[in-house]
Amino acid sequence: MNEGIVSPRLVSPAPVTLVGAGAASAEDLRAARAHAPRVAAADGGARLALAEGILPEAVFGDFDSMDAETRRAIPEARLHHVAEQETTDFDKALRHIEAPLVIGVGFLGTRIDHLLAAQTVLIRRAYRRCLLLGAGDIVFLCPPEIALDLPSGSRVSLYPMAEVTGRSEGLLWPIEGLSFAPGGMIGTSNRVTDGPVRLEAHAPRLLVILPRAALGAAVRSLAAPGPAWPAP
């Protein structure tokens, strides 16, 4: 399913932290909120937010993973029920949030199927800038153009979700002239030679995977005005 853009139910001029129901820690939430203090939740992710004393501004989903106690703690006006069962709660939430950047916590957990589904949503909702925060890495969809202030030697992995080409500066192995594809060439474990690293993607199909230490640099670049993928 690939619904078109819908009217957002949470509009923010600043980045938003979106909490999912997958494996995540209080430290993950604190790291995200340092850059995106406004908090929303995808279904059962509201439980982690409440456990840290945070009342989400909005909760999206079909509410099949939200326990009764958590639901009672959320004011009815902040609950946004999305009844369809064809998309994940992450998808439901992301398409209803309009912000310069969404930082997702609790979407890169231990279940591989959930991880792959979350990465698919980054492609499907390419018009929403979103960064997923994991225990050791961060991942986001490469915009048409981005500059990242990363230290020399830092790991930069580029993973194609479909056939895609691009261009780079500041990487040990330049990507210009290469054609990436899931069943062909992929770009894992590239390295920064000097910064800033500049990347171009010619279609919304290329994921950028960086060490968690690069969170601040990635947020600064993604939240800044710049070329974006068009809405459907």
Domain boundaries, the chain: 12-135, 145-200
As beta bridge partners, residue 164 has 180
Best CA proximity match to 4, nearest among 72, 70, 96: 96
Q: What is the mean pLDDT of residues 59-68?
A: 88
Question: Could you read off the pLDDT of 85-112 as tens digits, one per residue?
Answer: 789 999 999 999 999 999 999 999 778 9
Helix then strand then coil, in percent of the chain rounded to 5, is 25, 30, 45
Residue from 118, 52, 109, 104 nearest 218 by CA: 104
Burial class (CB in 10 A: 0-12, 13-18, 19+), 150: buried
Is pLDDT above 90 for 212? yes
> Strand pairing of 145-148 and 197-201?
antiparallel
pTM: 0.94
Tell me, what DSSP letter sits at residue 43? Answer: G
Mean of per-residue pLDDT scores for the chain: 93
CATH number for domain 12-135, candidates 3.40.50.300, 3.40.50.10240, 2.60.40.1080, 3.40.1160.10: 3.40.50.10240
Euclidean distance between CA atoms 134 and 23, whole angstroms: 9
Q: Taking the CB of residue 93, how many other CB atoms lie within 10 A of it?
A: 33
Q: Which of 52, 60, 56 is nearest to 73 (CA)?
A: 56
Q: How far apart are CA 108 and CA 101, in angstroms?
A: 17
Average pLDDT over residues 216-228: 97
Q: What's residue 1's pLDDT?
A: 44
